[in-house]
Every structure is written in structure tokens, then in C-alpha cells.
Amino acid sequence: MSVPLIDAQVLQEFLDKAEPLLSEADLRAIGDCMQRRTGALLAGDTDVAEALRQAPATRRLQARDLGGWDDRLREIWPQLRQGDADGALLRLCEREEPPPWIVDAATFWLHAASPAENPWWARWVLERRRRTGAILLLLDDPGALAEGGTAQAYVDLRQAVQFLTEILAATRRLRPVAQPYRATVALAAVYAVYMFTMASWRMTDEFTQVMPPFPGVVASLLGVARREVRCVGGEGEGG
């Protein structure tokens, strides 16, 4: 199996487009929100019910939509809070392959618990069924993440994100964001550039002009609600 490697030149091209649209205040506000999320989780202020309300993948789902996977989330909640990705995902997958949204929600909290070690497998980061996602835009061989079940794919994703973290540190990109969260913010910035580029190619000028401000899109991808931050999305706006 190929080792998932980030193409540093492609990353630079994406960030060259994103960074002029993200002020230092925007980046600090987003990073601070992610740090507060971690602090609340480690302090024990977040339980499973609150986790379902906060994670973007589950916050709009009704009880009837959860299909019992909320019970599985409760089973692995102690491991999620400890940042035990290997144990949590093995238990999550032990009976059957989980749906992408529950992997998204579980890894959202794994990342919050241990942001330097555990990436967030959001569907905008990697959607294997459709072969889309921010990480695939950056890999020199997108096929490196094509094989294996959920647990193995997460190991490969972790390797790719660790490589991304090292490149960001070496190139000193996105410095206003604390190092443990920088790779995740970079992925959101990359995907936001991709979204705006696709919209400008496929949609009318009138449509693209009413899209949210670029910093607001990045914040939304990261699960940062407008009420949680200031500065994001424009001068004086809530994030």
C-alpha cells in the first residue's frame, strides 16, 4: 500500500488563494473556538447528548434518523473523551461498517480530545464513496486512501494529516492558529477554495455574489457557529 503523501506545491497554491481572504483575527477566532471545544470536553462539560448537538454531522438529525448509532456512540464515549482513536473505532466497527456520518461525529470528538494526534474525518475531508474531499486534493497519489475498512482508512488519514502538519510547520503557514489545530484549519481553507472555484465555474455571477464570506465558509466547515466567534465572515460580524 502506498504511503499517503501531501504534495507541498499543491498545498501552497491552495493556501496562496485562501490566506489573503483570512485575516489574523479570523484565524485566531476560529482557533480559539476549537481550543474551547477541547477544553470543555476535557473538563467533562460535554456529554453524549451535547456531543450530538455540537458535532456538525449530527446536530440536525432527529432521534428517528440515528438508527441506534447514538447508542454505539454512548458505548465508546469514554474512549472518545480520552482520544483513544484505535480503541474507539475498532469498537465502532466491530459489528458492521458504520455510516459515514457517525465516523464524522466520532472523529470530531477524537480530534477535540487529542487534536495533535487525531484528525477529524469529516465528509468534506474525505468521502471515499464519491472520491472527494480536501485531503484528496492534496495527495500526490489519491489512491493511497482507497483501500481498507474504516479503521485502516483512519490510520492512513492520520498519516497524511501528520505529514500536512509537518509541512505547515516548515513553511510557517497559518501561524495565528495553534499548532494542534492548524492542519484541520488548512484542510477547511483548501476545501473552501475548491468550493468557491467550483461555484465560479458552474454558477451565475448573481449566485456566487450571495455566497457567505470566505472566512464564514471556513468556520462553517469546522463546525464553528456564528454565535461562538467574532470577526469571522467580515468586519464586526459574528462567526
pTM for this entry: 0.90
Other beta carbons within 10 Å of 141: 13
The pLDDT value given to residue 143: 80
Question: How open is the CA angle 229-233-237, to the nearest 5 degrees?
Answer: 60
For residue range 32-84, what is the model confidence (pLDDT) as tens digits? Answer: 999 999 999 999 999 999 999 999 999 999 888 898 899 999 999 999 999 99
The pLDDT value given to residue 238: 36
Low-confidence ranges of the chain (pLDDT < 70): 1-2, 146-147, 201-211, 226-239
How far is the C-alpha of 160 from the C-alpha of 61, rounded, in Å?
30
At 150, phi and psi to the nearest 5? -60, -50
For residue range 136-152, what is the model confidence (pLDDT) as tens digits? Answer: 999 998 887 766 788 88
